[in-house]
Structure 1
Amino acid sequence: MHDSIVLIVTISLIIVLSPFFAKVLRIPITPVEIIFGAVFGYAGFLHEEHLFDIVAEFGFLYLIFIAGTEINLKSTLKTPRELVRKIVLYLAILYGFSIAITLYFGLSKLFMVLMPLISVGLIATLSKEYGKTPWLALSMTAGAIGEIVSIGFLTLTSATLHTGVGLGLVQTIFALIFFLLFMFSLFRAIELLFWWYPEVATSLMPHDDKKEQDIRLSMGIFFLLVGAMLYLELELAFGAFLAGIFIPTFFEHKKELPEKLASFGFGFLIPIFFIHIGASFHLEALFMDGLITKALLITLAMTVMRVVASLVFVKELGKTDAILMGLSHAMPLTLLIAMATLAYNANSINELYYYALILASLFQAISIMIIIKLINNHKLKKKEQPIESA
């Protein structure tokens, strides 16, 4: 009983104090929560507890759900063909790099999937700081397609790790194809329904909503799709992600809804997931031979391959903005941690690489944010110089 009280109080204090420390240190709040989780876990204030594990898992699924709400499927499907071709080329270069690096260094084949991961989670935080710049708009479009690919690979990798390569994997792939076909048919049916009867959308989520119907329906969709994933024995994150996409795609009149959902998640559930990740990272692991070197090399490799691949968009953005776009994809913190945890629990990677990946995700989130800020400030200064000289 005493241990549970200490756990609850510690989590509460971390959630409350993290924004203040993030502001003082001028780094994203997520790394602060993970670092606090590691420090307080090491000090014995955070410990294994069944309820803590469940809430953290729910926090992760909700984070993936929020990532989905950043993607309007109708807008994504309207992306010009030429741009789609370049995005596909960009992703192909990333996967080409990851395959080459994995084979050259003799790493676990899982790194072929790990290294090109893209998540739009932290890109959304960049939008709040830098506004809707061309490089961020393209970053979100390419990131949306990249994240769909990443979530797909996460689902298949999860199935492979659980069932192995055999009949079980084939059944999982068929279940996934069946589910995708069903979801495509459902999306088309709802699109037609809302096109013929637009009042249905506003009755489900009214403009003047005093009963929080929008939140209730969003949560209903979230749980239904996660439940479907449980039934089909597919990766739960995939269902959560599709549920998120559903919101902006069909309820465009509720422009404030994704922000409402994100406020709830980032204020409560999602920090618990990151605190849990920190608590599972044993600080004494920092003294493991070669850990920091491996984490730095992973960070460097994942950053450089994105910067090189982003040069595909030089014509659309210019060199500096193309590099900024590539850097914005070099922080797949949530998916990288999720995939690393999945692989470690399935004994596909050893403890050293698990901790190296967790550490690399922190290095990326902190260093990339700083680098983007420096490049953006330098770009702004260059723009101001001609005005000053004039």
Structure 2
Amino acid sequence: MHGATTIILIASAAFFLPLLAGRLRVPAVVLEILFGIVVGPVGFGFIEQSELLDFLAEFGFFLLMFLSGFEIDFGKLGRQGPGQIFIALAIFASTLVLAYFAAHRLGYGPFVTLLLATTSMGLVVPTLRGSRRAQTRLGQAILMSAVLADFLTLLGVTVVALGFEHGVGWQLLKVPALFLIITIFLVALRQAAWWFPERFERLFSPHDPEELGIRASLAMMFIFVGLSLALDVEPILGAFLAGTVFALVFRHRGSLERELSGFSYGFLIPVFFINVGVSFQASALLEPGALKRAGALILAALAVKLIPSMLLLLQRIRFRQALAAGILLSARLSLVIAVASLGVRIGVLNAEVQASVILLAAVTATFAPTLFRLLVPPLPAPDTKTDP
């Protein structure tokens, strides 16, 4: 009976929560996490941890990482030139240095350094699209910084996790081994797409009854996840790299991106965030000094993004816009929660830090996009009127 209740509640929440989030003007993810807390063991206890919920949540998690790589527009990034890449790398390096000192000051280890260095492509991209600034110089600078932060942080987390689980040794060579295999796969796929383009056109056809595009995407994701597991590398890196390879080979993805997003964000990804709420341990924040430490972590997470964003002034971006960029980049959501969950699983983070991270994600995901729009108002919509 518990399994049936779980399915009914989650399916209902996946439909109704985005509608409520739109009226409240908060990200749906925040409500999904709160819903999980309310119906989970901390709240009314309608939903408990189960194999079914864990499976659906992990599937949604892989899709979330896959889409994070899948949504990267390498065409736009390639047109920005080396100067933009250098500034984005400088911003990330500054963030990493500040995050290290902040984590050390708060009494945390290197894993929290990487945790503080994350950002949220899942919030950055919709916010820039909604304000119609994705194609502006400011928007492209923010996108480049977000892409590098997500990719380099995920890579760093994988290496650190391997180090904690197996120690510093030959096991760390598994990461470059994974990259070598994926590079060979990438080259082979690009050659195949180049020589036989007509064979790949069906992947992006909106009228394909077999939905080969969806099948190919999921197959690639699970193949890369399987390779990661075989090499004892975190599977989230494999899922992310699968999406990245797909985006790198197929620059024009037609309706496939919309179909994949609808399939993923429509149910499975919300299950992941609801499961985060279900597993939330509120009691950890009731420990003496826990809320104070959580507040300090939130302030540190803001500072390590706001200060480096001032480097955008070197690109002749105004101070107000640079400040807005720092605020938007300080928004954390899916990746920071994923990193915290991984940290708990391998034993380098405790429940209190994980609860603090969920609180951090809820606060920044709610307020950062709103503050960005206040500092940098949306551009007017293009005139689409046509003469009769």
TM-score, L = length of structure 1: 0.89
Question: In 1, Cα distance between the equivalents of 2:131 and 2:266?
Answer: 22
Aligned to 2:336: 336
Aligned to 1:123: 124
Identity of aligned residues (%): 26
CA contact (8 A) 2:128 2:139 kept: yes
Does 2:387 match 1:367?
no
CA contact (8 A) 1:214 1:257 kept: yes
Of 147, 151, 174, 1:148 maps to 151
Deviates more, 1:253-262 or 1:23-32: 253-262
Question: In 1, Cα distance between the equivalents of 2:11 and 2:70?
Answer: 27
SS state of the match for residue 106, structure 1? coil
Question: In 1, Cα distance between the equivalents of 2:207 and 2:350?
Answer: 53
Counterpart amino acid of 2:120? Answer: S
Deviates more, 1:52-61 or 1:79-88: 79-88
Query: What runs of 5+ residues in structure 2 fail to find an aligned partner?
Result: 381-388
CA contact (8 A) 2:92 2:148 kept: no
| CA distance 1:284–1:182, shift in 2 (3 Å) | closer
Aligned to 1:385: none
Question: In 1, Cα distance between the equivalents of 2:246 and 2:126?
Answer: 19
Does 2:86 match 1:71?
no
Query: What runs of 5+ residues in structure 1 fail to find an aligned partner?
Result: 382-390
Does 2:20 match 1:17?
no
CA contact (8 A) 1:55 1:269 kept: yes
CA contact (8 A) 2:305 2:330 kept: yes
TM-score, L = length of structure 2: 0.90
SS state of the match for residue 217, structure 2? helix
Please state how far the C-alpha of 1:199 moved relative to its aligned partner: 2.9
Q: For residues 343-385 of structure 1, what are the alpha-carbon distances to aligned partners after superposition, in whole Å with 9 as ceiling and x for unaligned?
A: 12333223222211121111111121221232234x879xxxx
Counterpart amino acid of 1:361? Answer: A
Counterpart amino acid of 1:305? Answer: V
Structure 1 residues 7-156: aligned runs within 5 Å? 7-41=6-40, 42-73=43-74, 75-77=76-78, 79-131=80-132, 132-134=134-136, 135-156=138-159
Please state how far the C-alpha of 1:211 moved relative to its aligned partner: 2.5
CA contact (8 A) 2:74 2:251 kept: no
| CA distance 1:198–1:6, shift in 2 (3 Å) | closer
Q: For residues 202-248 of structure 1, what are the alpha-carbon distances to aligned partners after superposition, in whole Å with 9 as ceiling and x for unaligned?
A: 25544753331111111111111111111111111111111111233
Structure 1 residues 1-390: aligned runs within 5 Å? 2-41=1-40, 42-73=43-74, 75-77=76-78, 79-131=80-132, 132-134=134-136, 135-163=138-166, 165-167=167-169, 170-171=170-171, 173-206=172-205, 208-314=207-313, 315-377=315-377
CA contact (8 A) 1:310 1:322 kept: yes
Q: For residues 118-174 of structure 1, what are the alpha-carbon distances to aligned partners after superposition, in whole Å with 9 as ceiling and x for unaligned?
A: 3312112213421225222222222112211011012112222322x244xx32x21
CA RMSD of aligned residues (A): 2.2
Please state how far the C-alpha of 1:285 moved relative to its aligned partner: 4.2
Q: How many residues are aligned here? A: 375
Q: For residues 92-112 of structure 1, what are the alpha-carbon distances to aligned partners after superposition, in whole Å with 9 as ceiling and x for unaligned?
A: 100110111122333223222
SS state of the match for residue 210, structure 1? coil
Counterpart amino acid of 2:93? Answer: A
Counterpart amino acid of 1:252? Answer: R
Question: In 1, Cα distance between the equivalents of 2:261 and 2:9?
Answer: 23
Question: In 1, Cα distance between the equivalents of 2:11 and 2:185?
Answer: 41
SS state of the match for residue 110, structure 1? helix
Q: For residues 259-311 of structure 1, what are the alpha-carbon distances to aligned partners after superposition, in whole Å with 9 as ceiling and x for unaligned?
A: 22111111110000000000111344443333333222222211122111111
SS state of the match for residue 307, structure 2? helix
Question: In 2, Cα distance between the equivalents of 1:201 and 1:75?
Answer: 23
Question: In 1, Cα distance between the equivalents of 2:266 and 2:242?
Answer: 20
CA contact (8 A) 1:73 1:245 kept: no
